[in-house]
Every structure is written in structure tokens, then in C-alpha cells.
Amino acid sequence: MIRYNRIPECRLPLCLYKIFTRRRLSFTFCRYHSLHFCIINFNSMKDIKNEIKGKVTAATLLVALGIIYGDIGTSPLYVLKAIVGDRPVSEILVYGGISCVFWTITFLTSFKYIYLTLKADNHGEGGIFSLYALVRRYGKYMIIPTILGATTLLADGIITPPISVASAVEGLTIVKGLQHLATVPVVIIILSALFFFQRFGTHKIGRTFGPAMLVWFIMLATIGISQIVKHPSIFKALNPMYAYHFLADYPHGFWLLGAVFLATTGAEALYSDLGHCGRNNIRITWVGVKIALMLNYMGQAAWLMNLGKGALLQGRNPFYEIMPHWFLIAGILIATIATIIASQAMISGSYTLVNEAMNLNFWPRIAVRQPTELKGQIYIPSVNNILWAGCILMILYFETSTNMEAAYGFGITITMMMTTFLLMHFLFYKLKWNKFLVLGLLLLFGIIEFSFFIANIAKIEERWKFLFFEFGIFITMYIWYYARKITNRLTRFVDFGKYANQVKILSEDNRIPKYCTQLIYLTKANQRHHVEEKIIRSIFSKRPKRADVYWFLHINRTEEPYTLSYNVSELVDDKVIKVNINVGFRIQPRTELYFKKIVQELISNKELNLHTRPDGSTMYNSEPDFKFVVIEKFLSAENEFSLREGILLNVYFFLKRLGQSDETAFGLDKSDVAIEQIPLVYQPVTNFKLKREEHLQPMM
């Protein structure tokens, strides 16, 4: 019996391991002593990520600037305007507001995300699903926080493009002659164009994101300094006592935390994009980004103080007011480009979030495409359309960025609290930190984030319709996850050894018409000798499926993001073979492509006999006769459910019909697939009485 193992299960010399892992081949097949190994490797994204995360160069720092700082980097467009609003300018309002912004960014962004959360590195990847994959073994109660965090992150992300682009475009109304410009159509055109071009990929224009954001942050710092020199005492606002007096003494100051929170809404993206840039690049660039942001915030505050006590904004935006008039058009153009980059980061992040949700069984299977050859860059048409429709409805409903400020941030506070919950488990269980230290951190971040949550509750009045969208996402994830657990629980596994001899006899029985030469079943069985009972029934059905070779193909989703490897075991010599393909949770599986490559490797190494077709057609076409059998379940009418189970399973099968078919989701060619339907009997109806009627004449 031959067994093929992947490298982590073997003891290769380190030098050989390095050679194989550095090979830029799709597949590497080698033999070491009596063992056989196969590594299937994507040579682009994983290698690039590993190289980037270990390096710090001018190029990698520029990449980090362009990818991850769009959201938090464009917050100066609206934060101080939201804090001041229609209130008269006063020292406690302006200094206190800036002090709150500084310490919020320090505690939440710098300390929590940049220092602590980036430690939760799942083989180079970040984000709430990556964090969940690291800690899910430590408790079943991780599910709801993960679903809730992902839901609110995805839902509130719809507000990012319209509020950012609208804030930039509204600057045009300051320009002489454009005071009455209708900004809504301009924003709709920009957003529609942005979503339309997603299908073509952004790898070419993406190269300009880094330089563009560098220009943006330099501009933020420069125009901020130009105002600070006129009011240098603004640096006193960094004293935390101003933040205390702002919250304690200013009328309704606590509720203004909802506006302060807008300064850190992009912090979650710093962790989500960890895999694109690497921890060191993020931490180094954050130093410069934070300085630029604070200089701009303080420059706006200095301008406000120079207006005089009691002055009103009267609809003006401090961000544009601190710009020199000669630079205004250029400044608006740079701001618009920066907001487009911020929107692009949100869109790409949403694709990644939904793709991870699918691969971790939180979301129904839907079409995922790769618009370019760059691994890791994906495009999900259905998500793109939903985001586009949501963004357009947002701008049509709220019309201005000022109105959107009143709705933005509520969902992100929930995401942050859920991330904190998962992060504390990571620090305690994975990093083995002292439990009192972890509890102290949990208390610190819990107080801060819960305070922001309470302050943002006031925004529900402006965004209550949005709750239906969030509820829909949450229910979809909840039902899909728990209904799949029910269906998986009903899957019965059997020891294939009991049927091995029968399968061998069937394969050699010439009285049975041959179904195909290579028959492949997709199986969920993790153990080597186990297969589903339904597969055995399918083989020995009313019309038994005779084949030369039976394959049991198992796709194993790993906790690592970019794993792609396999191992092979022969259950019956040259008759029954089991293949386990280990696929990372960020990779979209191409099952048939992987399988055919494995077969080619085995045949070329003379470790698998290529069987000829009985009709003699092999001499004209030597390609093996593959047939994949996909066994799909449907809900049997014989079930009797409790209320919860009935809702879960009925909605699950409804969502499954709306989503991708199994053969499409696993990358199978329809011409090579046979679909079999079997009923799912969860709890059959047994509580009934059937009474036989008496006949006048006895039955003959």
C-alpha cells in the first residue's frame, strides 16, 4: 500500500524543505526514502505575502500607505465638523474634542489594534474571521461574537464610500461659481464608476494608491501646520484633562463621543489588511500617519479658535477652510482621489470578508471570480451589486455627508467589542498572558468601547432602516452555520473496510455495465478508512456503479489562510484511493483542477495504472474517463420539526437553492458530474395511528 503525505507530517531535512517551499511551481512532487510527498503551491499571493511581511523597505511602506489607511486617513474630512456642528465655538468644546480624538486614537488604534491585535497573526493574515480561526477551539460561544462582528463590519462599511466621497465632492461648493452645485449626482457617478470597474480588477491603478496616499498625508500635515503656527497653544489639547472636562462638564458632551468615534472607524481595517502589508510595515507607517492626522485635526482646531469664542460654523467644513484659496481645487481633487482609494479598500475588504465567511461555512456559496492573475484579488458579483445599491440608496436618502455622520459608526462599535472579546481569548489561550493582565485589558477596552456604543445608540434614530439590512446578514450567517451543523450531524460514516471486498468484486464483475473508468465521490470523512453511508448506497444502488478505480475526495478546510497540499492513501490496491486536499480558508477551491493534476502526477510516476475504456475509445483519446458524483440532500416531507429546527432547515435549503450548486462551488466541470438526490430525514413522523378497516369479504 502506498501512502502520500504532505510535508508537515514528515521529517524532511531542513535543506530539502527550504528547496521545496521555495520552488515557484504549481506542484512539487518528490520522493524521500520510502515516502512520497506532494506540495501544491500557489506561487504568487502566499509567497509575496510572506516576503512582504518580513521586509521593511520604501516600497513595502508605500504599499501599506495605499492599502490600509484609506478609511481612517480620510476621517479629517468630517470628524471635527461633526463634533462642532451647530454649536458655538468654545475652548472646552474644541480643546476637549481634540483631546478625545487624540486619546481615542491612542488607546483604540495605537494600543489595541497596532500593538495588541496585530499579534493575532494567522499565518500572515488578519481580520475577524482569521482571529476566529485562531481561537474557535477554545469555546463554542465564539460563534455569535464572530457573526455579530462580521455582520456589523460589512453593513456599516456600506456607509464608508458615500460619506467619504460626498465629503470630498462637497468641497466644490466652496469654489466661486459652484456654490449651488448638486453634489448628489456627482457622488453617484463616481461611486457607480468605481463599482463598475471592479470586474476588471484594480491591479494596474492599484500601483498608484501608495504614492497618492503619501501625497494626501503630506497635504494633511502641511495645511495643519499652517494653522497651528497661528495658534500654537492648541497643543495643550493633548492633555487628557480637557477630554475629561469635555465629557463631564460640557452640555451633552458624552453624547458627542458618537462624533469623536468617527476618527477611529478605520482601525478595524488595519487588522483586516494585515496579510497585504505585514505587521512591521503597518506599525512603522502608522507613526507617520498618526502624526499627519493629529497635525491636521489640531490645525482645524486652531482655525476654529481663531474664529473667536461663540463663532458658528454655519455649514462650513474646517477641513477646507484651512486650505489656501489658491490650493483649493487641487486640495479637493487630492481629497476625492483619497476617498476613492478608501472606498476601494472597503469594497475589496467586503469581498474578502464574504469569501472567508463562505469558506468557514458562515455564508451560502456564491460566485467568486478572479479578475486578474494576481492571487488573492477576487471579485464577487452579487456582493458588488448589493454594495453598489446600498451606497446609492445611502446617498439618495441622506443627500449630504453631514446627515450621514449621524448614522455612521454604530455598527463599527459592535465590531470592535466583538474583536476585543476574541482578542482576549487569543492573548490568554494562545500567547499565555497572565489572566489578570488580560482581564485588565478587557476591562479597559470594554469601558471605552461600551461608552462609544452607548453614545452611538442615539444614531439608531437616523439609521433604524439600516438595522433590517444588518439583521438580514446576521440571520443568514446564523442559519447557514447552525443548519449545516444539523445536516452534518445527520451524516453517518461507515468503515470502508467492511465493503472493500464487495467493491473489488463489483469492479471486476464483467456482467455489470461499466459506469466509468474513474469514479470520484466528494466525501466529508476526515478519517482515512471512513466514508459516508450514502456513498456506499450510491455505489451499490439498484444499478450498481462499476468502475476501474473508485476515488474518495475530501476537501479539508484548514485554519491557515493559504494552505494548499494533499495526501493520498490506497484503501484497496489500485482500486480504491482516498485523497485529502488541504485548502486554506482564503482560497477558492478548484477541486477538479487539483484532482486531475494529482492523477497526472501519479500516472507519470508510474504509481497509478491508466485503465483503458472497454469500448476501445482510449486509442483515440487517452484522457481518463472521470465521473464526479455529487450527492445532494433535500428536506424530506417525512420530518417533524420543532419550531427552531424547522425554521433553520427550511431557510437553509431555501438559501442553498439561491446560491451556487455544489459542482460549481467546488470547481467541477458539469460534463463530468452526476447529481444524485437523497432525502434528509431529521426527525421522522412516528406519532400517528393507522387503523385498518374491516372488509365485508376476506382478501383472496
Could you give the residue ranges of the DSSP H alpha helices within 380-515?
381-398, 401-405, 410-425, 435-457, 460-463, 466-489, 500-508
User: Are 89 and 308 contacting, i.e. CB atoms less than 8 angstroms apart?
Assistant: yes
| pLDDT score for 54 | 57
pLDDT of 394 > 50? The answer is yes
In a 3-state reduction of DSSP, which class is residue 90? coil
Q: Taking Cα atoms as reference points, which of 471, 498, 194 lies closest to residue 346?
A: 194
Rounded to whole angstroms, the Cα distance separating 650 from 657 reads 11
Instruction: Supply φ then ψ for residue 50, to 5 degrees.
Output: -65, -35
pLDDT of 329 > 60? The answer is yes
pLDDT band at 342 (very low <50, low <70, confident <90, very high): confident
The C-alpha cell of 20 is what? 521545496
| pLDDT score for 32 | 28
Which pTM does this prediction carry? 0.78
The C-alpha cell of 381 is what? 458579483
Task: Mark 502-541 as b/e (b = at least 16 C-beta within 10 Å).
Answer: ebbebbeeeeeebbbbbbbbbbebeeeebbbebbbebbee
Task: Mark 259-282 as b/e (b = at least 16 C-beta within 10 Å).
Answer: bbbbbbbbbbbbbbbbbbbbbbbb
Q: In a 10 Å sphere around its CB, with 0-12 CB exposed, 13-18 middle and 19+ buried, how is residue 434 labelled?
A: exposed
**Higher pLDDT, residue 146 or 355:** 146
Average pLDDT, the chain: 81
The C-alpha cell of 36 is what? 512520497
**498-502, Cβ contacts within 8 angstroms, sequence gap of 24 or more:** 499/536, 499/539, 499/540, 500/571, 500/572, 500/576, 502/540
Torsion sign (Cα): 305, 306, 309, 315: negative
Residues 6 or more apart in contact with residue 430 via CB below 8 angstroms? 120, 134, 135
Cα Rg of the chain (Å, integer):
30
Question: Model confidence over 634-659: pLDDT tens digits?
Answer: 777 666 667 777 788 888 888 888 87
Residue 24: count other Cβ atoms within 10 Å of its Cβ. Answer: 9
Question: Model confidence over 93-135: pLDDT tens digits?
Answer: 999 999 999 999 999 999 999 999 998 888 777 888 889 988 8
Q: In a 10 Å sphere around its CB, with 0-12 CB exposed, 13-18 middle and 19+ buried, how is residue 38 labelled?
A: buried
E-state strands within 480-563: 493-495, 514-523, 530-532, 546-558
pLDDT band at 27 (very low <50, low <70, confident <90, very high): very low
pLDDT band at 452 (very low <50, low <70, confident <90, very high): very high
Rounded to whole angstroms, the Cα distance separating 387 from 381 reads 10
Sequence ranges of the domains in the chain: 46-233+240-465, 490-612+621-680
Rounded to whole angstroms, the Cα distance separating 241 from 247 reads 10
pLDDT of 35 > 50? The answer is no
pLDDT of 247 > 80? The answer is yes
| pLDDT score for 403 | 81
| pLDDT score for 345 | 81
**Higher pLDDT, residue 542 or 301:** 301
| pLDDT score for 292 | 96
| pLDDT score for 45 | 41
Q: Taking Cα atoms as reference points, which of 102, 322, 327 lies closest to residue 229?
A: 322
Q: What is the CATH architecture assignment of 46-233+240-465?
A: Up-down Bundle (1.20)
| pLDDT score for 376 | 56
User: Are 524 and 554 contacting, i.e. CB atoms less than 8 angstroms apart?
Assistant: yes
User: Are 363 and 357 contacting, i.e. CB atoms less than 8 angstroms apart?
Assistant: yes
Residue 464: count other Cβ atoms within 10 Å of its Cβ. Answer: 10
Question: Model confidence over 562-598: pLDDT tens digits?
Answer: 788 888 888 888 788 899 998 887 677 788 888 888 8
What percentage of the chain reaches a pLDDT higher than 90?
27
Average the pLDDT over 69-96 and give the result. 90
pLDDT of 244 > 60? The answer is yes
| pLDDT score for 684 | 66
Rounded to whole angstroms, the Cα distance separating 66 from 115 reads 21
